[in-house]
A and B are shown apart, each in its own frame.
Chain A
């Protein structure tokens, strides 16, 4: 158990809908990262929050947004869903910003999103 909690584990929804994925980082970790894993794109970095503030954006669509709350949990909001958004969405956390030697990402078990 990595200590990173993601809910829900599975989500089935229809095109055009909006969903919210939730992530609780490991106790004490200030950074939260979101990744999308699909068969054709592999593991793609979406966005990184550190202590409530956005640090970096990757290949995140404008239909997607995220935030990190004062208690450090994070939510990823996906709207106007399309079939191609079906993927496994991972949240990962780290103590700071991967600056220390060997500091690594701890991954949650992911949310499997199916858009029908």
Chain B
């Protein structure tokens, strides 16, 4: 079973609008971390935001916020006031638990976001 599911292969959004990128995850571990990374066309992977499973509040980092719904096992990324430079591939990732061998990130298939001027 997929541990991280991103159901939107691609999205087109008008500049300055807000955009939500979906991510659902699957784990039975009570302790986990959720991450979002951005991959522009140049190829590098850029960390955006982190949410821990025990965090009471949704994470925010500038224009990025994470809509964390634990019961639904979803961790959607919200980008406010989108900009042309936001056009990129976005990956959701999870780190499960603290057991030996789980010290890695598992990535979803990504969503390609295109901002339209």
Interface set of A (CB-CB < 8 Å, partner B): 2, 31, 33, 35, 42-43, 45, 48, 50, 55-56, 58, 88, 90, 92, 97-99, 101-102, 104-110, 112
Contacts and interface: CB of A to CB of B under 8 A. Distances in A.
Chain A interface helix/strand/loop/mixed: strand
B100 A98 contact: no
A26 to B, nearest CB: 12
Interface residues of B, number: 25
Chain B interface helix/strand/loop/mixed: loop
Contacts, number: 62
A102 B44 contact: no
Given A56-B103, A104-B50, 5 more contacts: A2-B44, A43-B91, A98-B33, A98-B95, A112-B43
B35 A104 contact: yes
Contacts of B102: 56
B47 A106 contact: yes
Contact of A102 (B50, B91, B98): B50
Contact of B105 (A42, A98, A101): A98
B107 A42 contact: yes
B74 interface: no
B101 interface: yes
B101 A55 contact: yes
B44 A45 contact: no
Nearest to B47: A104
A102 B61 CA distance: 13
B109 interface: yes
Contact of B43 (A2, A35, A101, A110): A110
Interface in B64-117: 91, 95, 98, 100-110
A98 B106 CA distance: 12
A105 B44 contact: no
B103 to A, nearest CB: 4
Nearest to A112: B43
